[in-house]
Chain A
Amino acid sequence: MNRDKDYDLIIEAGKSELNYWKDILKYRGLCYILVWRDIKVRYKQTLIGIAWSVLRPLLTMLIFTIVFSRIANLPSEGSAPYPIMVFAALLPWHFFANALNDSANSLIGNQNLITKVYFPRLLIPVSAVMTSLVDMLISLILLVILMCFYGFLPTWRFLWIPAFMMIVFFLAIGAGALLSSFNIKYRDFRYIIPFLIQLGLFISPVGFSSSIVPEQWKAVYILNPMVGIIDGFRWAILGGTLEWTAILISLMVTLLLLISGLFYFRKTEKKIADII
């Protein structure tokens, strides 16, 4: 009667690891619900609602095109129109910046849930990243429309986009898991993250093309995982040559961040309800 196998769940001090990954699968429905909630809530009480998802990337593209192409006179990549080149980079960059910001603050934002009900906490930053993924998909449709407008039609390379999306998705999850658990312990990160994102915008080829980076800086420049990812997106959308070393570095950094992020997150998660 009292044997362990009669019970469905055994909670033991310091031995939660076994159930955890099973639970993630079991609770995946909750992840979708949280994504649904965040999207629903985001545009409540706004006049134009979901149109903001379209307007925001378009306006950024406009500003970047004016500043970098018209004022700074930077060259585009090959024959591609400058707006398309900017938009191709904004796709992963916007996703990454929003996902990072939202997932890093997600644990603090959901503390009322964390202290009241059990579910694998990893779902919180993951759902924040997935919310941004929805935005990226909307932007992708917008891009196709824009390309048709400029008469710059997608080629077979477009099929590579899901692969690059996967990389940036896991990069965001790794970084988000890491930063959100830092944020729980040290609230300073709430203020550091915007600076990180701002810095990232300048060292990543969002407003400019990688081709204008001086040769002597290239070695340092491609250490930024977003360089490989953005250039990957550009290659899939605009064509040209793809530097595989940059992609390889992105993959490695993503893997590193993902492993260390998940590891550190699990470590923090055990006491999260006590310290939040």
Chain B
Amino acid sequence: MGKPVIKVEHLGKTYRIRSRDIAAYRSIREELVQAFSVFKKSNSFKSKTSTFHALQDLSFSVDEGSVLGLIGRNGAGKSTLLKLLGRITEPSSGRIKLKGRVMSLLEVGTGFHPELTGRENIFLSGAILGMKRQEVRRSFDEIVQFAGVEKFLDTPVKRYSSGMFVRLGFAIAAHLQAEILLIDEVLAVGDIEFQKRCLGKIGEVAKGGRTVLFVSHNLGAIEQLCDSAMVLEKGKLAFLGSISEALRAYRQFNKNAAVRNFISEQQVIKKVSICSEKPDDQHFTTGSVLHIDVTIRSERVLQSPVLGIVVRDHYNVPMIGINNRHYKLDFENVRLKSGMISIRIPHLPLVAGAYSIDLFLGDIHGDFEVLEHAIDFLVDNTGDQFVHAKLDKRLNRVFIKNVNWEIRTDGI
């Protein structure tokens, strides 16, 4: 461990939320309407502006050559922190000191233009991410080989398969020559084989003495890659320390994190909560109960509502995807305006790990609200009542509780 290369002091970022119109940009008409309404009813608009603290009084430092994982629930401020470190937005308070070149990789294929060829895009994206032309040229062959797109170098990337696109984007990023690398959730895409290669590449980068900040929902990846981690909770630093302690701390926080409220007025889904057997029980294990309550308040009536859930594992791979239409019980004659839909999975078939639930709400006319990563939960492997011996993690992604085993011995 070397000297600190990132030092953050009392960092804060505040957003102004205007609950009336969520869009930050406005049209002149709206501006004029607002200007006139000031005369009419003086502070009706002001009262609706509220502030949201994405990050508050955050102080920490990162040493040279360390790989720091950032964990925290959705909206905890992980991405905001990366954006501040990467200078994409400016802090509202506090300061950041950085040593060396910083490159941010918040998306795979940053700056790609669909009309340009793979070759052209390597140079374009490299330049946009901050590489010099000679640097791109030097690692060009390696990038092409890593991505495995030799044959398609002169094909426009719009004709690439999504897998090829992602591979090329990541290959460029993996060859960035920066002292500090900021990586956000990029491994959530691509096939598992490639994800593993990427993880390996990031590991290599870190061994080369560079500092990596890594945000992921993939706790497995974080555990594998990082030597320390930071847990963010509602924009504040909740824990900073070794990876194993950080994961333990995160799980601790998650125990009382089973409710998520959505404040947006436009949104119909207002609240999601999960629990196990009892309402205050947040301990999920393979085979235990998963109970999900979704509170809904809609402006208009939903004719025969459909609620779907997709449970994704930490590679973002869907493990379960069901909605009420898949079951005999249907809400065909139900008219819903305000209420709650509950889902109870009596025996959770998932093995230990971190999972995330997407919600899909629709009615007879189709889907109209999708909440990705609406709520996260962890399945623990301690105290499994149903799994008697340790499951081989490499082979098992699900565990079926009620499997009948029979044995017949016909004499010896």
- Contact of A13 with B91 at beta-carbon distance under 8 Å, contacts A33-B124, A33-B128, A276-B25 already known: yes
Does A185 interact with chain B (Cβ within 8 Å)? Answer: yes
- Contact of A44 with B115 at beta-carbon distance under 8 Å, contacts A1-B3, A11-B98, A29-B132 already known: yes
- Contact of A29 with B127 at beta-carbon distance under 8 Å, contacts A118-B88, A118-B104, A276-B25 already known: yes
Distance in Å: Cβ of A177 to nearest Cβ of chain B: 18
Does B26 interact with chain A (Cβ within 8 Å)? Answer: yes
Interface centre among B89, B98, B132 (most CB of A within 10 A): B89
Provide the bound-state CA to CA distance between A212 and B243, in Å: 79
Contact partner of A2 (CB less than 8 A), chosen from B4, B26, B111, B129, is B4
Contact partner of A188 (CB less than 8 A), chosen from B3, B28, B99, B128, is B28
Contact partner of A7 (CB less than 8 A), chosen from B15, B27, B97, B124, is B97
Does B270 interact with chain A (Cβ within 8 Å)? Answer: no
Residues of A within 8 A of B261 (CB): none
Q: Once the chains bind, are B99 and A11 in contact (CB under 8 Å)?
A: no
Q: Once the chains bind, are B107 and A116 in contact (CB under 8 Å)?
A: yes
Contact partner of A185 (CB less than 8 A), chosen from B26, B89, B95, B110, is B26
Distance in Å: Cβ of A246 to nearest Cβ of chain B: 32
Does A41 interact with chain B (Cβ within 8 Å)? Answer: yes
Q: Once the chains bind, are A185 and B25 in contact (CB under 8 Å)?
A: yes
Does A203 interact with chain B (Cβ within 8 Å)? Answer: no
Interface residues of B in 160-213 (CB under 8 A from A): none
Does A56 interact with chain B (Cβ within 8 Å)? Answer: no
Contact partner of B92 (CB less than 8 A), chosen from A2, A13, A118, A184, is A13
Q: Once the chains bind, are B99 and A273 in contact (CB under 8 Å)?
A: no
Contact partner of B7 (CB less than 8 A), chosen from A2, A119, A184, A188, is A2
Distance in Å: Cβ of A158 to nearest Cβ of chain B: 35
Provide the bound-state CA to CA distance between A41 and B380, in Å: 51
A-B contact count (CB 8 A): 122
What does the 1/0 interface line of B76-107 toward A look like (CB < 8 Å)?
A: 00000001101111111111111110101011
Does A215 interact with chain B (Cβ within 8 Å)? Answer: no
Provide the bound-state CA to CA distance between A116 and B128, in Å: 10
Provide the bound-state CA to CA distance between A184 and B12, in Å: 25
Contact partner of B95 (CB less than 8 A), chosen from A6, A11, A275, is A11
Q: Once the chains bind, are A29 and B133 in contact (CB under 8 Å)?
A: yes
Residues of A within 8 A of B116 (CB): 37, 40-41, 44
Query: Chain B at the A interface: mostly helix, strand, loop or mixed?
Result: mixed
- Chain B residue nearest to A19 (CB atoms) is B87
Q: Once the chains bind, are B87 and A118 in contact (CB under 8 Å)?
A: yes
- Chain A residue nearest to B26 (CB atoms) is A186
Give the size category of B's interface with A: 35 or more
Does B355 interact with chain A (Cβ within 8 Å)? Answer: no
Q: Once the chains bind, are A188 and B133 in contact (CB under 8 Å)?
A: no
Q: Once the chains bind, are A273 and B97 in contact (CB under 8 Å)?
A: no
Does B113 interact with chain A (Cβ within 8 Å)? Answer: yes
Interface residues of A in 96-115 (CB under 8 A from B): 112-115
Provide the bound-state CA to CA distance between A11 and B130, in Å: 18
Residues of A within 8 A of B90 (CB): 11, 13-14, 16, 270-271
Provide the bound-state CA to CA distance between A45 and B12, in Å: 47
Q: Once the chains bind, are B110 and A113 in contact (CB under 8 Å)?
A: yes
Q: Once the chains bind, are B106 and A275 in contact (CB under 8 Å)?
A: no
Q: Once the chains bind, are B25 and A44 in contact (CB under 8 Å)?
A: no
Interface centre among A118, A187, A271 (most CB of B within 10 A): A118
Distance in Å: Cβ of A183 to nearest Cβ of chain B: 9
What does the 1/0 interface line of B127-168 toward A look like (CB < 8 Å)?
A: 111101100000000000000000000001000000000000
Residues of B within 8 A of A185 (CB): 25-26
What does the 1/0 interface line of A27-45 toward B look like (CB < 8 Å)?
A: 0011001000100110011
- Contact of A12 with B88 at beta-carbon distance under 8 Å, contacts A37-B124, A113-B128 already known: no
- Contact of A41 with B111 at beta-carbon distance under 8 Å, contacts A13-B92, A274-B89 already known: no
Residues of B within 8 A of A271 (CB): 89-90
Residues of B within 8 A of A274 (CB): 15, 24, 89
Provide the bound-state CA to CA distance between A8 and B5, in Å: 9
13 further A-B contacts with Cβ under 8 Å, apart from A2-B4, A10-B96, A30-B127, are A7-B99, A9-B97, A10-B95, A12-B96, A33-B127, A40-B116, A112-B107, A113-B111, A185-B25, A186-B31, A273-B88, A273-B89, A274-B15
Instruction: Rank and list the top 9 A-B pairs by shortest CB-CB distance, nearest first.
Output: A275-B24, A118-B87, A7-B97, A12-B95, A11-B96, A33-B127, A44-B115, A9-B98, A273-B89
- Residues of A at under 8 Å CB distance from B? 1-2, 4, 6-14, 16, 29-30, 33, 37, 40-41, 44-45, 112-119, 184-188, 270-271, 273-276
Query: 29 interchain pairs (CB within 8 A)?
Result: A1-B3, A2-B7, A7-B7, A9-B99, A10-B98, A13-B90, A13-B94, A16-B90, A30-B127, A37-B113, A37-B116, A40-B120, A41-B113, A44-B156, A113-B110, A113-B128, A116-B88, A116-B104, A117-B106, A117-B110, A117-B128, A117-B129, A118-B104, A119-B128, A185-B25, A185-B26, A186-B25, A186-B28, A274-B24
